[in-house]
Structure 1
Amino acid sequence: MAAFLKSPCPTDIYGYPSFFRKSHEFPTTDRESKMARTSARIKAAEAVQRTKVERDRVEEASRKIVNKHPTKVNAAKGATKVAPRDVAKIPTKEVNMIEDDTSEETDEDPSGMAMEFTHISSNDKDEISAYERQRLANIARNKELMVQIGLADVSSEMKVRRSSLAEQREESRKRRKEGLDALPRRQSRRVQGKDAEFSPAFNLPIVVAANNNDDDNSDDDEEAASWETLASDAKQHLGAFYRGLSNESSVIESSTAAATKYSIDARDVVKALPSRIYSLAFHHAISASSTMLAGIADVEGNFALWTPPVDRSSDVESGLTAFRLHKRAISMLHFQDTSLLSSCMGGIVKRLDLGAADPSAACVVVELDAAITSFHVNYGLSCMLLSCDDGSVVQTDLRQDSKKQQQRYTLHAKKINTVHCHPTEPNVFVTASLDRSVKLWDIRKLKASLAELTHGKSVNCASFAPDGKTVVSVCLDNFVYLHNTSSIVATLPSPQKIKHDNHSGQWLTKFHAAWDPKKLTDCEFVLGGNKRPRCIDIFGTTSPKPRQMLSDDSLFTSVHSLNVFHPVLPVILGGNSSGRISMWRAQS
């Protein structure tokens, strides 16, 4: 290795080590490669230093010639030609120095034809290095080639063109700046000393509309109405529905007909709320006036009650009552016989009395320090289970003081999106979490889960089928999973996977699957999607292909993330991100 470092390093015509361009000549081992690279750097630095010293020596000699023979030097640079008799008075070495500098600096004659001396004397071989001679020869050859092909004139034209373009850009920039300076500067109302603008209609608790089918904009006259007028209209709609329930039993038998065909009509497409739909629910009863009752909520805490007629061809006019029920997004709705339970992301559950029909009298039944993502009322235990964004589940009894009867259990490491109870086993419930898991629990033994179902990504929802034999989960890995829970054991069979686009993005509500409560056998669930043309799918538990795809090119043109079945009627209600609801009815 020492001999290798001390051996002379071959160089190219530019004075650099030749193995800089021949990587295969480097030693093979890492140690030898490192030493070779170090030696190459040293030799390259020495070569550069030698070239610099040689260049300084040549420049010093040129300055001496200029000081000693100024007239002859000017002639060599193109001012006047040097007479032959005067050349003899200049040393040969100095004349050659003048020629070398002229070949690089002359702009008027790139070919160097104006000079009389174009050769390098043999006496200069000791004074000028081989690198310098090669450099000067290359410069002369390149300039001669440029003259032959006519690029010398083109180069000068390009310089003129670039300067003109720069001037044009500068003038354009000045004009734009003058135009901006002429415009008045925008200032906020605070800087101007004016009061802030606000709309008092934002805080109005109730807005009533009758079958608003025209567009997505609410009526200005209705928004400007007073609280007393709106409250009286709300009482009229809700009171009529409630009186119909209490005075005349109109609950009909549930329909279990197979392969129901659905259709949509313009009368069943309504602008219900101003913001993105976040939860939907149907009341299980029918009023005496043959109207249904649906609850709709959005991400801003607005809530609407809609009473469409049971028969599409009926002369009964549907009513829509909307008001501000919560201050934050309403995550869940649930109708009881004469009341409505609603939860919000602010950690509050309210009960609205349908008989009183006074939204301002809605009472708080649960108040937590965490956001409530969903809840489920278990009638077998007369209790409510609430899922929270901190990974906990809260159990509370609605018949007593909720604060005294609350029991909280941390079941997941991250946010729980949904909680749902088993329809026939009141002690069993399922949770779907942001930690990519679905877990089955026994409320009597919460130290460990009954079963854990791992998913590829976050799980939007998980719920039991009406017969309790299947759990459906919607995951962000673009699959819908059907888990067999006919026998709940620690290790469940492999789930059936259905390919489905579940990506909702920032502006859509997460896709949730909803079972048809009317079908206790051969269960079905409905699920929205991103397909084009826009549609909703109805799936069964026996096949990965949808049984029906409900679509309409003219009336159904947006993504409906949430969809629910009516408990007794062949009706499906869906909501989109602009506050619009669409209802599909069974074809007559």
Structure 2
Amino acid sequence: MSSGPDGQEDGQDGQDGQDGVGPQLLENTPKENPSKPSFSPSPAWTAVLTKQARILLTPLSFKKGPGRQGFLPRRILEPKQCGPGENAAEEPGAPTGPAGSQPLSLCPRRSREAPRLSPETAAPAADSPQDEDDSDGDERECQGSFSGLSAYERKRLKNIKENAKFFASLELLEAAAKLKKMTTRKPSCGVKRKKPKEEADETTRRRSMRLLKADPSGVPVPQVPAQPELAADESPGPPPGPLEMVPSNQTAKDEVFGEFLQTWTEMSQPSGSTIQQPSSLESYRASLSGMAVSEETVCKVTKDRIFSLAVHPSESRLLVAAGDRLGQVGLWDLDRGPKAAGVHTFAPHIRAVSCLYFSPANPAHLLSLSYDGTLRCADFSRAVFDEVYRNQELALSSFTFLSDDASSLLVGHWNGGVAVVDRRAPAPVQWADLGPGLVRTVHGHPLHRQYFVAAGARNVSIFDVRCLKPQRNRPLLSLPGHTKSLASAYFSPTTGCRVVTTCADDNLRVFDTSCLGSKAPLVTTVRHNNNTGRWLSRFQAVWDPKQEDCFVVGSLSRPRRIEVFHAAGRLLHSFAHEDWLGSVCSINALHPSRPVLAGGNSSGKVHVFKARGAEP
């Protein structure tokens, strides 16, 4: 049996197709086999390149038996190597067609995978010319080799052979090898280029006489001996001993500064006036409402951020002192004409001035403490800054008076220790360690001078100076409840029955310290935003010397303001102004007898609130 070019079989094969043995084929589209009535193979898809390729699907066969039901795929891609005279129909259990027809599986069994063509086997087939005689010879050879196959299987094997010849003619493997060779990078030879030598410049270049260390005439200048340089972590300390009082913003010994010193000499004696308490809380609130700020009461007193502030107790003149981050102390006399004429700035320290107090015995003395380890007293009658205490190894944090004549002082250190300084004794310093916590502020009791309160990292304690020893000091009373570091702790100004603390946990607390022998109960807690950050000085709530149960503190609220609270936690008044108060006043101080409030910000400005209509 043979097939024509269009894939149809001749009459004998057509007869077999009518008997149900051989299927009738179209080009690349096998039709269903009558011997398998329930199977309908799908047409195969072909990919068209330069020649149409014929691809047929693998037929399925039925095989019934125990444990195997349904359709089982059977691939006949490769013929089985059968011996001579062997036939698949002789195998036991082989399926057979109808009576008088050939078996369904007449071709030998194929392997599961089709044989792959190598370039060596595919090249001769691609190079040999193809004509009709060769095609007929191949067909006869195929019919002779596989005489026992059906027409469908012979047609399929012929298509496989033609497809193999076609793909071999495309030379895909050779093209892939050439492409791989083209895309492979060649190793660099690694030859370095030689840089051309620079030709010597025949002309002489001009050079600076300053770099040659010579004068314009060419004569060498004598060398100046080099100064010894300080280490990176070493900073020059302040000079010891008294310093001359020279204003840094004005010429020394001028007429204005002479008048300023004369004013301080006249105020060298205390006034002796008593502090008058308001009759009630309502009258005190009314006095606060009568205070205001104006353009004349706002001035830049220091160069940098204000760390401390004090108001002179004089009732005849209004003078404010401020200490900044760079160690400067500025004095502002509000009673002297223009603002610039009343400001005098001095530099007695080289680091931040954290504490300022006027002496209770002599208001002409201003004591200042700095982080540079020095405590100085400004004596304006002699125009000098005397040195009271000095410790170059430990930084100082604050100080307080232990006597009314200001002869005995208590100085706090950042390492947790305190020093009792007696300006009259030959051995003026007595050291005591209060514990591992920091000592940020110390403040003495207004009536019982032997007691003082110290605020540290997370603890506030009251100590007795008479019981201090170098090590292992136990507090007389502790004020618990603080969860973060404290900024300050102060006794109430008249009786010392209360202590107000400012903590970084955004709380202001008031404790009852009327009985120092037992526990100090917590009177009230005021929720207050104390998160000032690194560019603002920390808030410090301070008592009003004119009112025993009221204190003043700065605020981060907008518009900017200074708030006054009662000891019970009520907000009594807020000092604010849309035009002249536009910054945060972290440090505040009040006059002991007059309705005057001074607030300092982080740019060195001082805002003064005073009674309306009063002379500056």
TM over 0.5: yes
Matched residue, 1:379: 403
Residue of 284, 305, 314 corresponding to 1:285:
314
Matched with 2:262 is 240
Query: Residues 2-21 of structure 1 correspond to what in structure 2 (within 5 A)?
Result: none
Q: Secondary structure at the match of 2:261?
A: helix
* Counterparts of 2:432 and 2:519, CA distance in 1: 23
Counterpart Cα distance in 2 of 1:253 and 1:399: 28
Q: Is structure 2 residue 605 aligned with structure 1 residue 580?
A: yes
TM-score (norm 1): 0.60
- Name the counterpart of 2:37: none
Shift in Å at residue 246 of structure 1?
A: 4.9
Which residue is equivalent to 1:322? 345
- The answer to whether the 8 Å contact 1:341/1:352 transfers is yes
Partner SS, residue 444 of structure 1: helix
**Aligned partners of 2:296 and 2:339 also within 8 Å:** no
Unaligned runs of 5+ in 1: 1-57, 75-82, 107-189, 194-203, 209-221
The amino acid across from 1:529 in the alignment is S
Residues 110-125 of structure 1 mapped to structure 2, 5 A cutoff:
none
Give, in whole Å, the separation in 2 of the partners of 1:570 and 1:242.
Answer: 22
1:192-227 deviations in Å (ceiling 9; x for gaps): 99xxxxxxxxxx99886xxxxxxxxxxxxx96x6xx
Q: Distance in 2 between matches of 1:453 and 1:97?
A: 97
**Counterpart position of 2:428:** 405
Alignment of 1:491-570 (within 5 A): 491-519=519-547, 521=548, 523-542=549-568, 544-570=569-595
Counterpart contact for 1:252–1:285, Cα < 8 Å: no
Percent same amino acid at aligned positions? Answer: 28
Answer yes or no: is 1:414 the counterpart of 2:437: yes
2:512 pairs with one of 479, 484, 499: 484
Inter-partner Cα distance in structure 1 for 2:587 and 2:597: 10
CA distance in 1, matches of 2:389, 2:456: 22
**Match of residue 332 from structure 1:** 355
CA distance in 2, matches of 1:419, 1:263: 32
| Secondary structure of residue in 2 paired with 1:492 | coil
CA distance in 2, matches of 1:416, 1:73: 100
How far residue 443 of structure 1 moved from its aligned partner, in angstroms, is 1.3
Q: Secondary structure at the residue paired with 1:409? A: strand
- Select which of 462, 469, 482 maps to 1:440: 462
Which deviates more from structure 2 when the two are superposed, residues 404-413 or residues 500-509? 404-413
Unaligned runs of 5+ in 2: 1-111, 128-134, 140-156, 177-209, 214-242, 279-283
Q: Say which of 158, 166, 170 aligns to 1:88.
A: 158
Change (3 A) 1:559 1:90: same
The structure with the largest alpha-carbon Rg is: 2
Assess, with a 3 A threshold, how the Cα gap between structure 1 residues 266 and 389 changes in structure 2: closer, same or farther: same
Matched, 1:256 2:277: yes
Q: Choose which of 406, 415, 431 in structure 2 pairs with 1:390.
A: 415
Aligned counterparts of 1:242 and 1:573: Cα–Cα separation in 2: 20
Q: How does 1:7-406 map to 2 (within 5 A)?
A: 64-70=117-123, 88=158, 229-232=251-254, 235-246=257-268, 252-257=273-278, 258-259=284-285, 260=287, 261=289, 262-286=291-315, 290-309=316-335, 319-336=342-359, 337=362, 338-356=364-382, 358=383, 361-368=384-391, 369-379=393-403, 382-401=407-426, 404-406=427-429
Confirm or deny: 8 A CA contact 2:122 2:165 kept in the other structure: no
Contact 1:205 1:323 (8 Å CA) reproduced: no
Name whichever structure is richer in helix by fraction. 1
Describe the superposition over 1:420-466 as per-residue Cα deviations: whole angstroms up to 9, x where unpaired.
011111111100012x1101111122431112223110010001002
- 3-state SS in 2 of match to 1:567: coil
User: What TM-score, normalized to structure 2?
Assistant: 0.57
Letter in 1 for 2:501: S
Distance in structure 1 (CA, Å) of the matches to 2:532 and 2:318:
30
What's the offset of the Cα at 1:68? 2.4
Residues in 2 aligned to 1:495 and 1:579: alpha-carbon distance in whole angstroms: 35
Separation in structure 2 between the aligned mates of residue 238 and residue 93 of structure 1, nearest angstrom: 116
Q: Is the 1:391–1:414 contact (alpha carbons within 8 Å) kept by the matching residues of 2?
A: yes
Q: CA deviation at 1:567?
A: 1.4
Distance apart, 1:518 and its partner CA:
2.1
Please state how far the C-alpha of 1:69 moved relative to its aligned partner: 1.5
Matching residue of 2:484: 457
Distance 2:600 2:212 in 1: 43
Counterpart residue type for residue 283 of structure 1: H
Query: What residue in structure 2 maps to residue 32 of structure 1?
Result: none
Q: SS state of the match for residue 69, structure 1?
A: helix
Q: Residue deviations 1:245-265, cap 9 Å, x none?
A: 258x75655343322122111
Q: Secondary structure of 1:530's match?
A: coil
SS in 2 for 1:230: coil
Task: Spell out, residue by residue over 1:85-126, the C-alpha distance to the aligned partner (whole angstroms, 9 max, x if none).
Answer: 99838569979999xxx9xx99xxxxxxxxxxxxxxxxxxxx
Counterparts in 2 of 1:61 and 1:328: CA distance versus 1, 3 Å = farther
CA contact (8 A) 1:300 1:328 kept: yes
- Structure 2 CA distance for aligned equivalents of residues 73 and 515 of structure 1: 109
CA contact (8 A) 2:122 2:164 kept: no
How much does 1:584 deviate? 0.5
Deviates more, 1:317-326 or 1:563-572: 317-326
Partner-residue secondary structure (3-state), 1:327: coil
CA contact (8 A) 2:265 2:380 kept: no
Secondary structure of 2:263 counterpart: helix
Structure 1 contact 309–316 (Cα < 8 Å) conserved: no
Q: Is the 8 A contact 2:256 2:341 kept in 1?
A: no
Distance 1:317 1:405, change over 3 A: closer
CA distances 1:154-186 after superposition (whole Å, capped 9, x unpaired): xxxxxxxxxxxxxxxxxxxxxxxxxxxxxxxxx
Preserved CA contact (<8 Å) 1:387 1:393:
yes
Write the distance in 1 (CA, Å) between the matches of 2:166 and 2:600.
92
Counterpart-to-counterpart distance in 1, 2:308 and 2:554: 14
1:498 deviation in Å?
0.2
CA distance in 2, matches of 1:66, 1:325: 99
1:570 to partner: Cα distance? 0.8
The residue type paired with residue 295 of structure 2 is A
SS in 2 for 1:537: strand
- How many residues align? The count is 394
- Give the AA of the match of 1:513: A
String of CA shifts for 1:41-81, please: whole Å, max 9, x gaps.
xxxxxxxxxxxxxxxxx99975x53442259899xxxxxxx
Distance 1:545 1:267, change over 3 A: same
How much is the aligned-residue C-alpha RMSD, in angstroms? 4.0
1:394-424 Cα shifts (integer Å, max 9, x gaps): 11102234xx221111113132110001111
